[in-house]
Copies of this chain bind each other. A is one copy, B any other.
Amino acid sequence: MSFTYKPVDARDIEYLKSVCDPERVMTGESIHEDYSHDELAGIHRYPDVVVEVESREEVAEIMKYAWKNSIPVTPRGQGTGLVGAAVPVQGGILLSLVRMNKILELDEDNLTLTVEPGVLLMEISKYVESHDLFYPPDPGEKSATIGGNINTNAGGMRAVKYGVTRDFVRGLEVVLPNGEVVKMGGKIVKDSSGYSLKDLIIGSEGTLGIVTAATLRLLPLPRIAISLLIPFPTMETAIETVPKIIKSKNIPTAIEYMERRVILNAEDYLGKKFPDATSDAYLLLTFDGNTREEVEKQYEKVAHICLDAGALDVFISDTEERQDSIWSARGAFLEAIKASTTEMDECDVVVPRKNIASFIRYTRQIEKELDIRIASFGHAGDGNLHVYLLKDEMDDETYRKKLTAAFDRLYQKGEELGGHVSGEHGIGYAKREYLKKTAGDTYMQLLRNIKTAFDPKNILNPEKICC
């Protein structure tokens, strides 16, 4: 499908300045460079105009206008995405939602929190924890907005026990491409009232509608969390222990894997020592619960499982300080790898849990065969790997060639192992070809039909996912 858009002109800018405070409407030189890319910065394009919206009404007015005039609109949170989903590849209007950052309501009886889309993850966790409550999704990037998290169906470290963002969104308020406002879900716990529009919006990367409010599900805050850092002689031994842990009836909150070279990157980046970096491979586990005894009972059993499976040791971090030091290192892996090279791109593949070892082995093979440095870490408990391909000292052309060759083979392998292109970072602009290759024509046509069901003029975040 090809669509024709109206170029943004002076009259459009004038209109936008009549809807929003003119100080929040930026054009030309006054557009910050940040607005032309996301975190991985592989895709660049400046929008014609940036509008920093402050309310649902403003979003709705702007969408009505853009709809009538066929102007492309790209919604954006903090720009912490990795696949170009928030880059305005067709120019037009960039709608920044970061000023819509109010916590609207904490409902302690229904255990829900209603927020605007620009509230940051770190603000949500701080706020609910001060009320003895808990929002489990825990992606590494705490400065992402909740709107961004909903739009990628972000996962994070605690998905093993608690699930992903989808599992914690009860209700959404969404402005459609034509400016109409629709509510989906609510504070209700169950719903069988027609197709789940809410579940379509979750993970739709800003292509079907703009989330202007979200009602999140909370849990009571577990009183205790204890982490175990477990060194293994090889990554295989580490990873092959995971299914045994999962089956043991002692489900950890998190099961992360990490390799020594990434830990060393993080030590350099943070200027801090990791508790141990003498082994090649580690599992990092967390257990949570309401009493120390309950948590101890769980992790003791799992520690034995690991030792029986070949673990070299088990380091228990039961003080907040020690845990913080480990988890802040884990949270800095992406930044640390980025700092260790000149440029990088990533593969966020997800495979069935028992196939992670095969996939990691394959990345090693690719690394050798294509002579490109590959760093990886990720969520061993849920089969979601983050594999980074690093440019280092290569020239642009060599890097592009190797990148393409590596991605082709990695995604192909992922598919062979029963996996999908993205576990939590999305498809956006950068991964469309790989989705197309692995999902097949019929699947892609359904995605395009759904896009048309919401946005027949294709003005909302065009050229993403399937278009």
Contact = CB atoms under 8 A, between A and B. Distances in A.
Interface of A: 107-111, 152-155, 159-160, 163-164, 166-167, 176, 180, 182-184, 186-197, 199-200, 202-204, 208, 219-223, 243, 246-249, 251, 290-291, 294, 297, 348, 350-354, 379, 381-384, 418-427, 435, 439-440, 442-443, 446-447, 449-454, 465-466
A163 B167 contact: yes
Contact of A425 (B192, B196, B449): B192
Contact of A152 (B192, B383, B443, B451): B192
B447 A194 contact: yes
A427 B194 contact: yes
Given A163-B167, A446-B453, 17 more contacts: A108-B247, A109-B247, A164-B190, A176-B446, A182-B446, A188-B383, A190-B350, A192-B426, A194-B203, A195-B465, A196-B199, A199-B199, A220-B247, A220-B249, A220-B251, A222-B249, A446-B454
A203 B192 contact: yes
Contacts of A188: 350-352, 383, 418-420, 423
Contacts of A107: 352, 354
Nearest to A444: B194
Contacts of A221: 249
Contacts of A384: 189-190
Contacts of A152: 192
A193 B422 contact: yes
Given A247-B108, A454-B449, A190 B442 contact: no
Looking at chain A's contact residues, the main secondary structure is: loop
Contacts of A163: 167
B443 A453 contact: no
Contacts of A443: 182-184, 194, 197
9 contacts: A110-B243, A187-B353, A188-B418, A188-B423, A189-B382, A191-B350, A193-B427, A195-B465, A220-B246
Contact of A424 (B186, B192, B220, B223): B192
B200 A423 contact: no
A239 to B, nearest CB: 12
A111 B247 contact: yes
Contact of A190 (B193, B423, B440): B423
Contacts of A424: 190, 192
Question: Which of A111, A191, A195, A439 has the most chain B CB within a 10 Å cutoff?
Answer: A195
A110 B352 contact: yes
A453 B455 CA distance: 12
A189 B353 contact: yes
A190 B452 contact: no
A420 B191 contact: yes
B199 A442 contact: no
Contacts of A440: 182
Most-contacted residue by chain B among A111, A184, A191, A353 (CB, 10 A): A191
B418 A187 contact: yes
Contact of A248 (B155, B220, B354, B454): B220
Of A194, A200, A350, chain B has the most CB atoms within 10 Å of the CB of: A194
Contacts of A381: 189
A200 B200 contact: yes
Contacts of A166: 196, 199
A295 to B, nearest CB: 11
A435 B189 contact: no
A449 B439 contact: no
A221 B379 CA distance: 24
A80 to B, nearest CB: 14
A383 B109 CA distance: 12
A155 B154 CA distance: 25
A439 B246 CA distance: 41
Given A190-B159, A294-B294, A180 B439 contact: no
A222 to B, nearest CB: 8
Contacts of A383: 188-190
A188 B189 CA distance: 24
A140 to B, nearest CB: 14
B189 A350 contact: yes
Tell me which of A159, A182, A352 has the highest count of chain B C-beta atoms within 10 A of its own C-beta: A352
